[in-house]
Structure 1
Amino acid sequence: MMEYKEFHGHVFYRRMGHARPMLSHGEGVYLIDADGKRYIDASGGPVLVNIGYGVPEVVEAMTTQATAAAYLHATMFTSEVLEDYSAALAEVTPLENPRFFYLGSGSEAVETAIKFARQVQVDRGETQRYLVISRWHSYHGTTLGALAVSGRPGLRQLYQPMLAQTPHIEPPYCYRCPFNLTHPGCGLRCAHALEEAIKINGQETISAFIAEPISGASLAAAVPPPEYWPLIRQICDHYGLLLIADEVMTGFGRAGLWFAISAWGVEPDIMTMAKGSGGGYFPLSITAVKTEDVKTIRAGHGDFVHGGTFSHHPVGMAVGLAVLRYLQQHHLVEAARTQGEKLALKLRAAFGDHPHVGDIRGQGLMWGLEFVADRAGKAPFPARQGISKKIGDAAFERGLIVYPSSGNADGLNGDQVMIAPPFIVTDAQLDDIVGLLGEAIAAVI
């Protein structure tokens, strides 16, 4: 992409090293810029657009609710749409008798989960429990609490002096096993690392363990071994930890199930959700908890010591309910699974023997390609080459949007892209995605 010659107006962009085309509108799986160029959104934004762009039912729900009551103060009022959405969400959430706390971003949902876990432990009488164990090569958000439990060195380094103490363990990353072992003969060393961290830091100090059921952008859809999550659940139960499943990226059908954690028959204690909950139509996030734990803090502190000005926002509730109903009525969670299976076959057929594609991994409509300089030895390209960024740029120039990221090999080196289109993607569009991605890869490596 072109570099800036000067900043555009008064907008402060996160990434300031490239120019941006002016967006006109979106329709289906496409974004169209002001010059009429069409882009296939094969990453669903940052993996959140699930029902596609321009869905009239969602727009109508937003408009109707904004007209009726654009805002409510959640300490003063409830609303019909809030109760209706919560009831509908409870039917698809894999928690027994869940309750939902609503905010506006995945980072806020994670902050809420961490604070809720602490308060539950205190109100159980476990007042020394405050630490949250997480994993390296993870991403849970950019606010200080969420960043503290994230495991991406490049995001943490600048703010390290400000971050709370958070023990990290290695992730289940079989392609580059951090223990140099091979599944299934590894004995699930990555899961037992949680038990070791508990013992090192002191069982009495640990409040919770947080992790993504399937690794997101940090490891480009790395799926853990089938025994991993059941063993993690056992360890948490044995040592009294609350298990937080971060479904911000994987939730609402992205992994071919309503929530990815269900693939292993595991029930967490707390779940965080965002991205697909609003489908990109509204900034909506959710922290799901068990009613029994809500009763615990009700009997202890009396209230949840947390909040937010825009919590339980009625327009967000209307959008969430409309998106959920659209997913159900159009069988889009099932579509994510079936179209994801087709995408996997197409990716493997196109790149399975590519000398610089080391791994193709994923589930549902959430797939990652990892690029290597040496396929046999899995050596990554040097970070200075910026391979994933170049592939992302080459794809963008060809009208394809993918999700590049880097640092997966060792925190600095390593290149990968994620493919995560809306669930309405057709077979022909999958062919276009794979074909254009192939052109982009060929132009770079």
Structure 2
Amino acid sequence: MSKHVFSRGGDRLPVAARGSGAEIFDTDGRRYLDGSGGAIVVGIGHGVTEVADAIAEQARAIAYAHGTAFTSDSLEAYAEELAPLLPMDDPRIYPVSGGSEAVETALKMARAFHLARGEDRHVVIGRAGAYHGNTRGALDVSGRPGLRAPYLPWLGAAEHTTTPYEFRCPFPDSHPDGCGTRHAQALDTLIEQTGPERVAAFIAEPVSGAALGACVPPPDYWPAIAEVCRRHGVLLIADEVMTGFGRTGAWNGCDHFGLRPDLMVLAKGAASGYWPLGLAVASGRVYDALADGGFTHGFTYSHHAVGAAAGLAVLRRLRDHDLVRASAERGDQLDVALRTELGDHPAVGDIRGLGLLRGIELVADRRTSQPFARSERVVERVVAAGKERGVLLYPSTGCADGIDGDLILLGPPLVITPGQTEELAALASSAIRDVLG
């Protein structure tokens, strides 16, 4: 490997040569089952030539024109086809280059919306244990202590409230009826303490992704949270970077809960890894205020014609091949297979998720849910064991208390076959047994 690459994974990584469907092959000819879609990115599968063709065709015609000077046919067509699928009234789509940029854009939209209405609101509330990206603003509203720790002197503008993490629920006395009301009360109290006139937005994932491993909130959570936000005039930002574009077995994670946010952010599955594409989406009400009051913001590569062409080709592939339904079906199959393989394993505390977003939480003591110590590096060892067996798994740490807690996240391409789904469950289970017996 070149000594000039600032590698994210060390100096002995295999070289990816090609991909097909749910499989990746390295230059030694070794096959890997992509059980995580990279970082829960690849939805339509590897090696889809019509997406590559759409990118090449647009690049040949015009690769770049600045978004303040031109629009493009690909961008206009993409927005027209995507808008009806979003759970918003009259959505307006602002394309950027990834999830962190989309979050930064949405945070600025929220601030600009209130300024346009004559209100000086600037505080954004996130949730404990959440992850929204690695740029400063996105990291500030995130709640993962390990990621925040090196940069704490740069952070501190955001506030954080409780998270619906049913396996480690902060309100265990509220079960089995649901703890959504308690979470909403906690948010309401925080808004009142902060000052409603100062709070601009609340941001959360409809279903928790990388940080808490596919945690699904109780049915009463989102209606109660939305009511608190509406009552205080706080914009609700749905972070669908990981959960959008069919990942949870619906077009949007919001769809499972009837949630209609004021702002949305999407990425990952938007271009399925074929292009760096993120989307910040404003409802018509928010857009109208920004159009009247102005929106001071912009990126060099926003509104990119080639990116829009990639997104459009991916969107059509998802729709024409009915991959959202496939995600729901294969997700149910994967859930059954994982419970069959691991349901009684003493180190598996919880198996959870929706569609093809599934989490496995590993614990040292199943009876007490005690996590492994971080020093044992359990999830790293499981991922390494999986790679040795030819399956790619996605790790997460710190879920239990910000330091300890080990999660395996599964999010294969939505084109995974029934046979590969069974194989994924078997290989993931074998990797866990390799490490934990």
TM-score of the superposed pair, with normalisation by structure 2: 0.98
> What CA distance in whole angstroms lies between the structure 2 residues aligned with 1:370 and 1:8?
36
Distance 1:136 1:347 in 2: 28
In terms of mean alpha carbon deviation, does 54-63 or 184-193 score higher?
184-193
Alignment correspondent of 1:344:
335
SS in 2 for 1:288: strand
Aligned to 1:35: 28
1:126 and 2:126 correspond: no
Query: Is 1:393–2:387 an aligned residue pair?
Result: no
Q: Is the 8 A contact 1:95 1:267 kept in 2?
A: yes
1:178 Cα offset (Å): 2.3
Structure 2 distance, partners of 1:111, 1:262, is 24
How far off is 1:8 after superposition?
3.9
Does 2:46 correspond to 1:72? no
Contact 1:221 1:367 in 2 (8 A): yes
- SS state of the match for residue 101, structure 1? strand
Letter in 2 for 1:243: L
Matched residue of 2:85: which SS? coil
Cα displacement (A) at 1:164: 3.8
Q: In structure 2, the residue corresponding to 1:14 is in which secondary structure?
A: coil
| Mapping for residues 308-327 of structure 1, pairs under 5 Å | 308-327=299-318
- What is the CA–CA distance in structure 2 between the aligned matches of 1:186 and 1:91, rounded to whole Å? 32
The letter of the residue matching 2:290 is: I
Residue type of the partner of 1:156? R
Q: CA deviation at 1:309?
A: 0.3
User: 2:165, 2:70 → 1: CA distance?
Assistant: 46
2:2 maps to 1:11: no
Residue equivalent to 1:163:
155
1:76-87 equivalences under 5 Å are 76-87=69-80
Map 1:295-444 onto structure 2 (within 5 A). 295-300=288-293, 303-444=294-435
1:30-109 aligned within 5 A: 30-109=23-102
Q: Which whole-Å deviations, capped at 9, do the CAs of 1:408-444 have from their partners, x for residues lacking one?
A: 0000001110111001111110111111112111110
Please list every run of at least 4 consecutive aligned residues from structure 1 whose deviation after the TM superposition is greater than 4 angstroms: none
Matches within 5 A, 1:184-199: 184-185=176-177, 187-188=179-180, 189-199=182-192
What is the alpha-carbon distance in structure 1 between the residues aligned to residue 156 and residue 78 of structure 2?
34
Q: Which residue of 194, 206, 231 maps to 2:199?
A: 206
**Match for residue 145 of structure 2 among 141, 145, 153:** 153
Alpha-carbon distance, 1:185 to partner: 4.3
Task: Give distance in 2, aligned partners of 1:249 and 1:391.
Answer: 22
Identity of aligned residues (%): 48
Asked whether the 8 Å contact 1:395–1:402 carries over to 2, the reply is yes
Instruction: Tell me if structure 1 keeps the 8 A contact 2:164–2:217.
Output: yes
Question: How far apart are 1:186 and its partner, in Å?
Answer: 5.6
Name the SS for the 1:197 alignment partner: helix
1:4 corresponds to which residue?
none
Q: Distance in 1 between matches of 2:49 and 2:15?
A: 23
Distance 2:329 2:234 in 1: 36
2:132 maps to which of 117, 140, 146: 140
What is the identity, as a one-letter code, of the residue corresponding to 2:89? Answer: E
Q: CA deviation at 1:184?
A: 3.3
Is 1:278 paired with 2:277?
no
Residue of structure 1 in register with 2:227 after alignment: 234
Inter-partner Cα distance in structure 2 for 1:368 and 1:442: 16
Q: Partner of 1:133: helix, strand, or coil?
A: strand
SS in 1 for 2:242: coil
Shift of residue 296 of structure 1? 1.1
Q: CA contact under 8 A between 1:256 and 1:335: conserved in structure 2?
A: yes
Task: Report the RMSD for the aligned CA atoms in angstroms.
Answer: 1.1
Deviation of 1:262 after TM superposition, in Å, equals: 1.2
| Structure 1 length-normalised TM | 0.96
For residue 255 of structure 1, what is the aligned residue in structure 2?
A: 248
Uncovered stretches (5+) of structure 2, i.e. residues with no partner: none
Report the equivalent of 1:174.
Answer: 166
1:216 to 209, 213, 218: 209
CA distance in 2, matches of 1:239, 1:292: 16
Distance in 2 between the 1:184 and 1:208 partners? 30
Cα distance in 2, alignment partners of residues 35 and 299 from structure 1: 58
C-alpha distance in 2 between matches for 1:417 and 1:366: 11
Moved more, 421-430 or 189-198: 189-198
Q: Structure 1 counterpart of 2:286, which letter?
A: D
CA distance in 2, matches of 1:340, 1:404: 19
One-letter amino acid of the counterpart of residue 215, structure 1: S
Q: Deviations over 1:130-157 (max 9, x none)?
A: 0000001110000000000011000000
The answer on whether the counterparts of 2:100 and 2:135 sit within 8 Å (CA) in structure 1 is yes
- Give the deviation of 1:200 after TM superposition: 1.2
